[in-house]
Amino acid sequence: MLKENLVTLRKQKGLTQETVADRLHVVRQTVSKWEKGLSVPDADALQRLAELYEVPVSRLLGESIDGEPTPDRVAEQLAAINEQLAIKNRRARRIWKIIGIILLAQFLLVLLLTVLFTAKRSVVRNELESESITESWTEEWTEKKP
């Protein structure tokens, strides 16, 4: 597969990710993502990688054919790799969306419970205050009566 080939060829040439990144005019993290399979190089970067490692693009893509690959074959392989990454990204987005919905539901539940608890406390406090006022009025009224 592409990612294993990139790591193997880089190590065979005795290069670091930083060196490869400098020669391809990309950041080191980009090379790391290619080697981890988190993204794929575009067609231009793939060609430059092949030139850097002195191998045909077909070898980078894991193909073991004798002749030079046709541009259509390379495009098909890149399309297949991109489709795999798209599926992986859709899954990741779906998982994050579910996590977000769960967190939002928990937040709303806590907010609702807080509002209900605060309202209940307010009602109880009002009842206690009204009983206290009633008692004080009753006491004042009974004291004034001869």
On the CB side of 64, CA atoms within 13 Å amount to: 2
Q: 2-107: CATH homologous superfamily?
A: lambda repressor-like DNA-binding domains (1.10.260.40)
- Three-state SS across 89-131? HHHHHHHHHHHHHHHHHHHHHHHHHHHHHHHHHHHHHHHHHHH
The neighbour count for residue 105, using CB atoms within 10 Å, is: 10
pLDDT higher than threshold 50 for residue 66? no
| First CA to last CA distance, the chain | 104
Residue percentage of the chain with pLDDT more than 90: 34
pLDDT higher than threshold 80 for residue 97? yes
Residue 139 is encoded by which pair of tokens?
């006491």
Please name which of 43, 44, 52 lies closest in space to residue 6, comparing C-alpha atoms. 52
The most distant pair of C-alpha atoms in the chain lies apart, rounded to whole Å, by: 121
pLDDT higher than threshold 90 for residue 84? no
pLDDT tier, 30 (very low <50, low <70, confident <90, very high otherwise): very high
Integer Cα distance of 2 and 85 in angstroms: 13
Q: What is the pLDDT of residue 65?
A: 38
Integer Cα distance of 52 and 24 in angstroms: 9
pLDDT tier, 146 (very low <50, low <70, confident <90, very high otherwise): low
Phi then psi for 54, rounded to 5 degrees? 60, 50
- The mean per-residue pLDDT over the stretch 26-40 comes to 91
Integer Cα distance of 104 and 101 in angstroms: 5
